[in-house]
Amino acid sequence: MKLHGIRIPHKKNTADCPPVRLSVPETVVIPMSMHIGKTAMTTVKKGDHVKVGQRIGDASGFFSSDIHASISGTVQAIEERTGCNGSRIPCVVIASDGLQEPFGGLTPPVVKDFDGFIRAVKESGVVGLGGAGFPSFVKLGVKDLSRIETVIINAAECEPYITSDTRTMVDKGEYVFRCIDIMRRFMGARHFIIGIENNKREAIRVMQKLAADTDDVEVCVLPSVYPQGGEKVLIYHTTGRVVPRGGLPLDVGVIVANVTTLAFIAEYMETGVPLIQKCLTVDGSAVKEPKNVIAPIGMLIEDLIEQAGGLKCEPKKVLYGGPMMGISLPSMHEPVLKTTNAVIFMDEKEALPPKTTPCISCGACISHCPFRLNPRDIAKTYRLGDVKALKELCVDICMECGCCAYICPAHRPLVQTNKLGKIMLKEALAAEKKKKKAGNGGSNA
């Protein structure tokens, strides 16, 4: 099987660092949107007293997620803040009372069937914890369960620096297998593959030991090639199946779930404590002591780094996530989100992009793209505004992994032009659809 992707430095400095629990900060800022889909509706108001695990945001609509208080205290404000993507998001600001009083209603869910299981997953507030933020109850709520041939557990963790999934496997491996058991019982799943890169020796040992007691769990050890954890890449490398353009993993009989997400679901089934904290990696060239920490959701990054040992120098760039796909933070006043699996602090040398020079038509961006896209031509057609050509170049399937930009000797900003090309195509298709609808007299018939 041909491997797709690139070899990059792993920098897994914290793989052997069990997470350290941080103390409760004075305030947390909890956004009502930490997931793909609609913003949750706040259920509390200024001045309310809330307890740990209490629901403070209700999922609104099918694609949304419940949100819970990570600390006990008083709701200081409900205010709109600008998220990293520039959108305005309502946030609940809670001032701690220092008591960390648990909410009285937190009891393990009673689950008897598939519908009850999906309801429990929804109430836990869990979303894809690998960074995707897709509501887990939607992903697992498959209508026709007979379509699931294989559940792929994404344990690749292929981005440099990040080791939070590694720690889940090492420290909470039994929860991963309890969730497998739950999926056997309530989803009828009969084949599981744990896809894991070969640079995680201890995690592989733990997973293999636990899998030895089963006859339907395969631990698939994969080369450490980025982006091994990309959903379609992982499906191909573990099963040889190719998800069709515009299709879903289920079209090839597969669902893919992040390993930490599954461990959390199993833990929730036993405790009833919803998603209120995150294990995340704190690393990067500006950090004094790289480590893994457990932080309450909503903790501000400035508080997090202070408790995590501080910085060696003023960071030039701070990222949610790893250096390949991470999102740059506008300031240190941003909170830890449900999807935050790492915060990387970069010094000037690490952060500054190399000088861009003209394209030399070497083709490296094409040969190193996991999907063999042509980012060089995508950039050209984007600049020309040629939507038809963008469609032909399949810009819509770009997963923004950054392999092309990483490998480009001219340091072209290829991911950025891919992103802009995707938006251009999406907008053009939406306008075309609207025009067609108007031509039909606005009828849906």
Q: Which stretch binds ligand SF4 (CB under 6 A): 41-49, 247-255, 280-288, 356-364?
A: 356-364
What span, in angstroms and rounded, lies between the C-alpha atoms of 60 and 278?
23
- Report CA dihedral (303, 308, 311, 315) to the nearest 10 degrees: -60
Question: Is 362 among the residues that bind ligand SF4 (CB under 6 A)?
Answer: yes
- Ramachandran assignment for 136, one of left (phi > 0), alpha (psi -120 to 50 degrees), beta (any other): alpha
Residue tagged 């910085």 (tokens): 311
Question: Is 403 among the residues that bind ligand SF4 (CB under 6 A)?
Answer: yes
Q: Which of 57, 141, 274, 402 binds ligand SF4 (CB under 6 A)?
A: 402
Q: Which stretch binds ligand SF4 (CB under 6 A): 123-131, 135-143, 146-154, 398-406?
A: 398-406
Question: Is 418 among the residues that bind ligand SF4 (CB under 6 A)?
Answer: yes
Question: Is 423 among the residues that bind ligand SF4 (CB under 6 A)?
Answer: no
Token pair for residue 426? 């999406």
The least distance separating ligand SF4 from the CB of residue 150, rounded to whole angstroms, comes to: 24
Q: Which of 4, 415, 422, 425 binds ligand SF4 (CB under 6 A)?
A: 415
Q: Which stretch binds ligand SF4 (CB under 6 A): 178-186, 248-256, 364-372, 381-389?
A: 364-372
Q: Which of 336, 364, 387, 425 binds ligand SF4 (CB under 6 A)?
A: 364
Question: Is 121 among the residues that bind ligand SF4 (CB under 6 A)?
Answer: no
Contact 401, 230 (CB under 8 A): yes
Contact 20, 292 (CB under 8 A): yes
Residue tagged 């933070």 (tokens): 329
Question: Is 369 among the residues that bind ligand SF4 (CB under 6 A)?
Answer: yes
DSSP state of 66: -
Q: Which of 401, 417, 422, 425 binds ligand SF4 (CB under 6 A)?
A: 401
Contact 312, 288 (CB under 8 A): yes
3-state secondary structure of 26: coil
Q: In the chain, what are the helix, strand and coil shares in percent, each to the nearest 5? A: 35, 20, 45
- Write the CA distances from 441 to 333, 410, 430, 433, 437, integer angstroms: 49, 50, 17, 13, 7
Question: Is 286 among the residues that bind ligand SF4 (CB under 6 A)?
Answer: no
Q: Which of 400, 413, 420, 424 binds ligand SF4 (CB under 6 A)?
A: 400
The least distance separating ligand SF4 from the CB of residue 361, rounded to whole angstroms, comes to: 5
- Name the nearest CA neighbour of 207 among 170, 256, 248, 255: 170
Q: Which stretch binds ligand SF4 (CB under 6 A): 18-26, 116-124, 413-421, 430-438?
A: 413-421
Question: Is 399 among the residues that bind ligand SF4 (CB under 6 A)?
Answer: yes
Which residue type is seen at 52?
A: V
Give 357 or 440: the residue with its C-beta nearer to ligand SF4: 357
Q: Which of 256, 408, 421, 422 binds ligand SF4 (CB under 6 A)?
A: 408
What span, in angstroms and rounded, lies between the C-alpha atoms of 98 and 101?
9
Question: Is 356 among the residues that bind ligand SF4 (CB under 6 A)?
Answer: no
Q: How many residues does the chain have?
A: 445
What span, in angstroms and rounded, lies between the C-alpha atoms of 63 and 84?
20
Q: Which of 103, 398, 417, 421 binds ligand SF4 (CB under 6 A)?
A: 398
Site string for ligand SF4, 370-389 (x = CB under 6 A): xx-x-xx-------------
Return the ∠ at Cα 233 (arms to 227 and 236), rounded to 5°: 150
Question: Is 237 among the residues that bind ligand SF4 (CB under 6 A)?
Answer: no
Which residues bind to ligand SF4, rule: CB under 6 A? 359-365, 369-371, 373, 375-376, 398-404, 408-410, 412, 414-415, 418
